[in-house]
Structure 1
């Protein structure tokens, strides 16, 4: 028997992320829908506590989170990027993300991977992040 993963895919940091995690992906989760909804909301909330120190917005609203997989064991795999490959906190930010998500009640192990494909662009920012950086 294989475990199915639920995924929050990067989609402009809008509600589509939550819909994907609630069972609209290819597989069915062994996690009850109510718990999956709570986990998803709590993980997003935890991601929103991590800020890029050079930009006054959180990493979720900046569009730095590309994918979050929640497996049936409640282990979390996160793919994220940085605003620039030479980001001065490149070594620290994944640890911040791991610690924030690991603090969510009911989460198993957390693994964070930095990816650069596709490259981050400012168009990935939510309206909230654009307001925070003064684009509106």
Structure 2
């Protein structure tokens, strides 16, 4: 099975890394944009910035059947919403038309750091 992937650098730049597969490039571009937009609707309740701009999304894979696998982390392993946030991400991405199953995996390697934050998040948080 071929997989379409946005790796860490592509996710940070909001650009898909498209590899030849069953999904037409135009559809892959639309799905990628829709996934990024959906991820930007999920906020860390303790930090007024969305999880995408915070750099909490490590990997997004879209397979040929339009199922999505997401690896994400938290700002800290003891985050009080650790059990809830993957569900928020699944619901946000799962609401996109044309998306199949959404699986979110919580990972802590590499650990999150402020270096993963976008400039937008740094400005919003006054952390530059």
TM-score calculated relative to the size of structure 1: 0.90
Residues 1:119 and 2:117 aligned together: no
CA contact (8 A) 1:48 1:61 kept: yes
Paired residue total: 128
TM alignment of 1:1-136, pairs within 5 A: 3-11=1-9, 13-15=11-13, 17-20=14-17, 22-23=18-19, 28-136=20-128
5+ residue gaps, structure 1, are none
**TM-score, structure 2 normalization:** 0.96
Distance between the aligned counterparts of 1:88 and 1:112, measured in 2? 18
**1:19, CA displacement in angstroms?**
3.3
- Give the Cα–Cα distance (whole angstroms) in 2 for the partners of residues 110 and 57 of structure 1: 23
Provide the alpha-carbon RMSD of the alignment. 1.2
Whether contact under 8 Å (2:12, 2:55) holds in the other structure is no
Change in Cα spacing, 1:85 to 1:103, as seen in structure 2 (3 Å) is same
Q: Which runs of 5+ in 2 are unaligned?
A: none
